[in-house]
């Protein structure tokens, strides 16, 4: 069994136990409704034909249409796609969206394909799954190594399959010209920053003046830094794959963003007191730590050196189970990824609604709705955590339990169980 599926089943079991439920509910939710596996033939530039494999896992649709991204990666597996579809069920449920969970993947290294080969792969894959997706059934979105252009190809291919019918809501994360929202670009980083702000207000009364270190200065880290500093935090450390920068007085985030955009490496920022490695950044004496790069960076090897009182997961799975248990026992609050980085799927819902309405929503309204929804989701999760466990378990367990409870409630109401 893959690590991803082990993790998904581990947290489902934790949630079931937290809710005082049994094996029946666990097994009802453990398996996906269906998994579609398709072959994707692509004629390469040299005239040969390569056959790739793709999957779409539809885990549960008790709350609404399946919803989740499609990733292109050479190591993606059927088990990983199943695990991610399960996680999307809980993420959408926790975000209080009318969606179930789905996920897709194609085993391919997109960097090895020419643009025309990548387009052919995308169109052939979506044509192969076209009968099991749709605006009211399953709504894909971008994920690892897919983007708005990929969604544009999906949308166009779906229209061809459906005799030219223009169903903009079949995918989200589209280019603005095809019904997407620019807010989607900032949404995950914005939501991560907002989660940090709301948690800081719960813990200290305000975010103002709190010191922050952000590991990972990609899309999520950049927008998290931008909004946190606008809301009064002091960003003292930033890092990317080239290393990190540190200044106890506070970094000039606008300058760091410009350096990253123009020179691609945040370490070329001039004027920082000293450089830090990604590992050193995690152990800095700061109030808030925002790991926004890769998984498992906070682990058994460094967990005893973590000094932050609040960790907000911008990345997926940056804190291992053992580290989370240890740090939570020490009183560290960890806002889990399924809550902290939910801004993306919330904005996908706003885009989908806007598509169904014919394009009435303006960008400022989309951002306002994202803010209101993220705030509501955060507060509901925090209150459930405090009420049901008195904060004696990691917030992640309470978040999973709340999400699972909502799905089970919907299944009962529909007469499925």
Known active-site residue 103: yes
Instruction: Report helix, strand or coil for 329.
Output: helix
Report CA 90 to chain centroid distance, whole Å.
12
Q: Are 226 and 189 in contact (CB under 8 A)?
A: yes
Q: Are 113 and 46 in contact (CB under 8 A)?
A: no
User: CB-based contacts of 417: which residues, under 8 Å, 6+ apart?
Assistant: 28, 408, 411
**Catalytic residue chosen out of the listed positions 14, 67, 91, 103:** 103
In the chain, the N- to C-terminal Cα span, in Å, equals 28
The first and second tokens of residue 399, run together, are 């978040």
Residues carrying an active site annotation: 103
């Amino acid at each position: 069994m893959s690590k991803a599926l082990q993790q998904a089943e581990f947290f489902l079991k934790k949630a079931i136990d937290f809710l005082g439920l049994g094996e029946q509910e666990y097994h009802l939710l453990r398996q996906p409704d269906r998994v579609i596996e398709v072959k994707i033939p692509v004629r390469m530039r040299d005239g040969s034909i390569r056959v790739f494999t793709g999957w779409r896992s539809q885990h549960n649709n008790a709350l609404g249409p399946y919803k989740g991204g499609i990733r292109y990666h050479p190591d993606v597996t059927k088990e990983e796609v199943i695990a991610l579809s399960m996680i999307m069920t809980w993420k959408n449920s926790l975000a209080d969206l009318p969606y179930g969970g789905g996920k897709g993947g194609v085993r391919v290294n997109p960097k090895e394909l020419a643009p025309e080969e990548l387009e052919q792969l995308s169109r052939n894959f979506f044509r192969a799954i076209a009968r099991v997706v749709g605006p009211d059934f399953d709504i894909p979105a971008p994920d690892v190594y897919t983007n708005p252009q990929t969604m544009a190809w999906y949308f166009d291919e779906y229209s061809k399959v459906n005799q030219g019918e223009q169903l903009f809501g079949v995918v989200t994360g589209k280019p603005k010209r095809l019904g997407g929202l620019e807010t989607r670009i900032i949404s995950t980083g914005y939501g991560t920053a907002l989660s940090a702000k709301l948690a800081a207000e719960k813990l200290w009364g305000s975010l103002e003046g709190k010191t922050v270190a952000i590991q990972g200065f990609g899309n999520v880290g950049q927008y998290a830094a931008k909004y946190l500093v606008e809301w009064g935090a002091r960003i003292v450390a930033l890092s990317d794959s080239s290393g990190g920068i540190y200044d106890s007085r506070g970094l000039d985030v606008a300058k760091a963003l410009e350096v990253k955009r123009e020179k691609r490496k945040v370490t070329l920022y001039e004027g920082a007191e000293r450089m830090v490695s990604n590992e050193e950044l995690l152990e800095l004496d700061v109030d808030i730590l925002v790991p926004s790069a890769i998984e498992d960076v906070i682990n058994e090897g460094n967990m005893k050196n973590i000094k932050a009182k609040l960790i907000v997961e911008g990345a997926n799975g940056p804190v291992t189970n053992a580290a989370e248990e240890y740090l939570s026992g020490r009183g560290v609050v960890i806002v889990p990824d399924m809550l902290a980085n939910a801004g993306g799927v919330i904005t996908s819902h706003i885009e989908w609604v806007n598509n169904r309405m014919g394009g009435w929503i303006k960008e400022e309204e989309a951002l306002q709705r994202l803010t209101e929804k993220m705030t509501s989701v955060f507060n509901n999760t925090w209150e459930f955590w405090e009420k049901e466990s008195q904060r004696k378990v990691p917030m992640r367990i309470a978040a999973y339990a709340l999400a699972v409870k909502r799905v089970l409630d919907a299944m009962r109401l529909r007469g499925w169980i």
